[in-house]
Structure formats: C-alpha cells, structure tokens
C-alpha cells in the first residue's frame, strides 16, 4: 500500500505548478522522520522525483524545500539505502544539482 500511495504522490513532487511542487516537497520533509527506513521500498522511485528538477530550480522556495528533503533523508534513513540512488543521480544530473548530490555523497 505504501508503494501505491507514493506512486500517486511522486507526480506532485515535480508538478508544473510551483506551489503544488513546493507544498509536496515540504510535506515529504515532514513525512521522512515519521517513516524513516520504512521508505526503503519506494526510495528508488522517490529520490528522482525529489531531485531531478527541484535541485536545479530557479525558484528559491522549491530549491530550499528540495535541499531540506535531501538533508532529512540523510538524517533519518540508513545511508546504505541512499548510496545507490544518490550515486545514480550525481552521475546524470548537471549544474548545482550535481554539485549538491556529489557533496551529499562525500
């Protein structure tokens, strides 16, 4: 059931409406400490949705919310769960998103 919920939620994480996108990122930031490692089945689906456009966003609110989500993931999830998706994202992103993901990996 977790997969079904987050499958529907992930499209809000890169919604074309910036307000919807930002609220979804802020909601994700609040959910991470509650769900912690229970997010493991959906983490490979969520990280691209959270990172792809949001870490390169010119909207300061979206960029800040995305950065907060990445920080929350690092604080509340086992680093082992994050290693592969972060490596993949760092490899294929560009701009400040690539720099942000590389710094988190380091």
Instruction: Give the residue from 78, 72, 90 showing the smallest Cα distance to 28.
Output: 72
Give the pLDDT of residue 93. Answer: 93
Give the pLDDT of residue 73. Answer: 96
Inform me whether the pLDDT recorded for 14 exceeds 90.
no
- pLDDT > 90: percent of the chain: 93
Give the pLDDT of residue 106. Answer: 86
Question: In whole numbers, what is the pLDDT of the chain averaged over residues?
Answer: 94
Inform me whether the pLDDT recorded for 1 exceeds 90.
no
Confidence (pTM): 0.93
What pLDDT band is residue 84 in, cutting at 50, 70 and 90?
very high
25-57 pLDDT, tens digit per residue, is: 999 999 999 999 999 999 999 999 999 889 999
> CA-to-CA distance for 55 and 53, rounded, in angstroms?
6
Instruction: Find out whether 49 and 10 touch, Cβ atoms under 8 Å.
Output: yes
Inform me whether the pLDDT recorded for 79 exceeds 90.
yes
Question: What would the two tokens of residue 44 be?
Answer: 């490979």
């Amino acid at each position: 059931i977790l997969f079904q919920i987050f499958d529907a939620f992930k499209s809000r994480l890169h919604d074309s409406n910036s307000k919807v996108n930002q609220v979804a990122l802020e909601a994700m930031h609040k959910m991470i400490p509650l769900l912690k490692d229970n997010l493991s089945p959906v983490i490979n689906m969520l990280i691209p949705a959270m990172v792809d456009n949001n870490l390169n966003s010119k909207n300061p609110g979206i960029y800040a919310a995305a950065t907060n989500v990445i920080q929350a993931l690092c604080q509340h999830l086992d680093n082992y769960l994050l290693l592969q998706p972060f490596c993949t994202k760092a490899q294929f992103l560009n701009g400040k998103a690539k720099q942000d993901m590389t710094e988190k990996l380091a």
